[in-house]
Chains A and B, each alone.
Chain A
Amino acid sequence: MDNKLTVEKIKECDKTLLLDIQDALANCMKCGNCMAVCPIFKELGVETGVARGKLSLIEGVLKGVIPLSDNFEKSMGLCLSCKACAANCPCGVPADELIIRGRQAIVKAHGLSPVKKKVFALLKNRPLFDLALRTAGIFGPISMKKLPRPMAVVSRFPMPGMDKKRVLTPFAAVPLRKQYPETIKINNAKFKIAFFTGCTINYAYTDVGKAVINVLKENNIEIVMPKMQHCCGTPVFTSGDIESGKAFARHNIQTFERYNVDYIIAACGSCTEALKYEYPKMFKDDPSMKIRAEKIAEKTYEISEFLVDIVKFRKDNLGTLNATVTMHDPCHMVRGIKVTQQPREIVKSIPGIIFKEMKEPARCCGSGGSFSLAHYDISRKINDRKVADIKSTNADIVVTSCGTCRMHITDGLVQNKIDNVEVMHVIQLLDKAYQAGKSNH
């Protein structure tokens, strides 16, 4: 890798890249407040691991003092995009976004790492992607060993770039959208919604998708699951590959525009954030796309938010579930789309549930999308803290609203040999309560 590559060379190929963030960077007063909340800093204790340090390195690159080196790339990689720094910053510096811009500089200069290149190429080709993940679903059981807990497997063979003890989610033999017709009709429907399944729910956590569908049906809502929808693009976007991220966005906007629905629902904080906030931001220089992105954004809701704020979900037919429940707030729920009260309202409305708040419910679990692939050891340490907090509530069930958090926390529980705690999506719990309501009658 050419370590001599400096901002001057980048400027040649893209005059605006990084330069337009100079003001945002200058707003960081280096107060160090982010040290108190950054989970990476907590584990590593070095300035290159905290927002303040990463922002100063980007400044260094802009000044031409720091090259776009491997170390720079490593530092930019040490971020979970958990937004804790931005939420705690007295000067309102969006450090998490600026760090993504730092990654973008790397991508511009050196291209993506070979592994990411392959994965993203696959991601971008929707039919191939679909085929690959479905194949994984069919052949998965041969290569994966099931664990005595739902939706958890470990690899039977060593996999490149993957810790072999790590607990994963099995790919579904049949993806969610193949299990249902595109439109799930309801007579006298209250609303008609489009369900953005996201890849995790479509290919792996189909149980969440089913629960969402059941719950919506229970509330008299007609559902369309557009066939051509694709991954929201968050993983490519946060890696710094902005152009590919935009391609995903464009595809999804076009797809959802074709359906005449009242709302668009996603059951994952990150997916919701992508549709609601990231897409309009991505097209800030493209007015016509921006308007279209904004139209989609206006209609988009996270499922708990939708059920509580819009639908006023049915509570009269909820059955009793006897369990102690605690909740983990995914970063992109609490700091991304700021939805925390609604999922709690859902859980607390279920008869029989004892809700117990854990110490820091909004602290990142350490998954951070692809972060945990590249830095499994650090993400495990962060996860251990989360698992300890869960354990101290004595809960039987941890609910959350994000697939990757569910997978990561499941892994953490298994690694810490905690067998009696189940991890599920908030909506799965609600679905169970509706089921319980029926069997009681």
Chain B
Amino acid sequence: MQNNIIINTLTQIVGPGHILSDLESLYSYSYDASPGHQHLPTAVVFPADTQEISQILSFANIHKIPVYTRGSGTNLSAGTCPVKGGIVLVTTRLNKILEIDEENLVVVVEPGVIVADLNKTVAPLGLIYPPDPGTVATATLGGTVSENAGGLRGLKYGVSKHYVMGMEVVLASGDIMTCGGKNVKDVSGYDMTKLFTGAEGTLGIITKLILKIVPAPEAKKSMMAVFKNLDDAGNTVSDIIANKIIPATLEIMDNATIRTVEDYAKVGLPLEAEAVLLIEVDGNPIVVEQEAKKVFSVLKKNNAFSVEVAKTQADVDKLWAARRAALPALAKLRPTTYCEDATVPRSKVPVFLHAVSDIAKKYNVTIGTFGHAGDGNMHPTLVCDLRDKEEMQRIHKAMDEIFRTALKLGGTLSGEHGIGLGKLQWMHIQHGPVGMKTMKAIKQALDPNLILNPGKLVGEC
């Protein structure tokens, strides 16, 4: 179909002020936060509501025009890159918090609401929406639910899917479907809500979300422990859990990350340390005190070289500054940053970290690893220069080995960032032929013309 017809039709649907088709605008929607993927769409539309999205999809479906849903474009798996041209559909105008239901601890929101804005709104009521990716200040709820995003509190509070109770979705045909609801217990039919959560915009466009919110913890206690030996850090993680303590946060940084962070942020980390653990327990003040004490003795037992406990809010900020600096510090080293999120069972974290550091040596590339030790969600971060072809070959080999290692250890390709295009090549290893066939069958059933984010997540169908 001719571009001008597509643009005219879309203009009729969304109104002239809400469509972009000049080269410069198309170019600025050709990428997201994932390095190495860029492609021009035909048009960028900013619909106002479900009805307009429904009209856009029924038009696109009839004429087999690809549609890529975009929140803020902060995903790290090329999930919004319009690889096959077509329509980029931006949800940012659907940005209303429709209902705060305190009795049921539920909110109803539109998909374009920024995560931090929801948290700001419910904070005065003593409530939180726990999923907190590093991009809380920019990412949309639609995008986070579609990527099944997690964050630092994943160990205790889980990831996005644990908070999605229901939704309204526009299907590829343009039909509007609702699933789930405010019921805590709901076993009626297939769990469609879960299916669309983490579907990365390949099965439908989420236009409304019913989300669970929880009481904010009354107290928190943070500490940082430094280890000379990586295995001691690993044993600490297992021991904390074995002591029946589930910290809200249990983060690890490897030696490469420690050195980079120290160089950049000067937070006082010992350069020779093999690992740093950041631990935060939260909840009832009395329990928090008891748990913090237990954690402290576990740290002692496992040869923690030093332990710093935050006494004031300023101390807390100082401890977290180190963790927050991890990605920026690594990113600053070189022009291109691949922040991966291969995940392994918690007990395998030390083995995995050793393996990654060997892989870095083997291919002579720079990799710093940090991540959520408590849930095994590691972020091996490869820094390089996309323009250096020879180096990129080594990077891809290293990446390949990292993912294969994670899978061998019983892990998964992604703990929170999603598959998109970036990790497609390893999907068959994790899921096997039957798994892939089943996923493709779902895709084909819901989107027979393959217009929704084509080629992503399950690959070509």
Contact = CB atoms under 8 A, between A and B. Distances in A.
A26 B135 contact: no
Given A36-B137, A36-B138, A56-B31, A29 B337 contact: yes
Contact of A32 (B30, B73, B328, B332): B73
A47 B34 CA distance: 16
Interface string B70-105: 001110000000000000000011000000000000
Interface in B125-152: 135, 137-138
Given A23-B335, A29-B337, A36-B137, A53 B72 contact: no
B128 to A, nearest CB: 19
B32 A30 contact: yes
Given A32-B72, A32-B74, A45-B92, A26 B27 contact: no
A33 B135 contact: yes
A47 B137 contact: no
B387 interface: yes
Contacts of A48: 24-25, 28
A92 interface: yes
Interface stretch (A66-74, A166-174, A199-207, A429-437): A66-74
B200 to A, nearest CB: 17
A56 B135 CA distance: 20
B135 A32 contact: yes
A57 B26 CA distance: 10
B353 interface: no
B35 to A, nearest CB: 7
Looking at chain B's contact residues, the main secondary structure is loop
B27 A32 contact: no
Contacts of A33: 135, 137-138
B385 A26 contact: yes
A65 B336 CA distance: 21
Interface residues on A, range: 20 to 34
Interface string A105-135: 0000000000000000000000000000000
Contact of B27 (A27, A66, A92): A66
B121 to A, nearest CB: 15
Interface string B20-41: 1011110111111111000000
B33 A29 contact: yes
A46 B24 CA distance: 11
B386 interface: yes
Contacts of B32: 30, 32
B78 to A, nearest CB: 11
Given A23-B335, A26-B386, A46-B20, A32 B33 contact: yes
Given A26-B387, A32-B138, A46-B25, A91 B33 contact: no
Nearest to A25: B335
Contact of A31 (B29, B93, B116, B135): B135
B24 A29 contact: no
Interface string A315-346: 00000000000000000000000000000000
A406 B326 CA distance: 40
A95 to B, nearest CB: 14
A219 B418 CA distance: 63
A30 B31 contact: yes
Contacts of A26: 335-336, 385-387
A61 to B, nearest CB: 10
A365 interface: no
A90 B331 contact: yes
A91 B331 CA distance: 6
A197 interface: no
A94 to B, nearest CB: 13
A56 B28 contact: yes
Interface in A30-82: 30-33, 35-36, 45-48, 53, 56-57, 60, 65-67, 69, 71-72, 75
B327 interface: yes
A47 B25 contact: yes
A69 B24 contact: yes
B332 A27 contact: yes
B22 A71 contact: yes
B398 to A, nearest CB: 19
B329 to A, nearest CB: 9
Contacts of A36: 116, 137-138
A240 B260 CA distance: 36
A234 B326 CA distance: 36
Given A90-B328, A91-B332, A60 B31 contact: no
Contacts of A56: 27-28, 30-31
A36 B120 CA distance: 14
Contacts of A69: 23-24
A354 B137 CA distance: 32
A92 B336 CA distance: 14
A123 to B, nearest CB: 30
Nearest to A45: B92
Nearest to B70: A47
B27 A60 contact: yes
Interface string B327-351: 1100110011100000000000000
Contact of A91 (B27, B29, B328, B386): B328
B24 A72 contact: yes
Contact of B28 (A29, A31, A57): A57
**Can you list the 10 inter-chain pairs with the closest CB atoms, starting with the nearest?**
A90-B328, A26-B335, A47-B28, A36-B137, A53-B28, A71-B24, A32-B74, A35-B138, A91-B331, A36-B138
Interface of A: 23, 26-27, 29-33, 35-36, 45-48, 53, 56-57, 60, 65-67, 69, 71-72, 75, 90-92
17 contacts: A26-B335, A29-B337, A30-B31, A32-B32, A33-B135, A45-B46, A45-B92, A45-B93, A46-B28, A47-B29, A66-B23, A66-B27, A69-B23, A71-B22, A90-B327, A90-B332, A91-B337
Given A26-B335, A47-B29, 8 more contacts: A26-B386, A27-B331, A31-B74, A47-B28, A57-B24, A66-B23, A75-B24, A90-B328
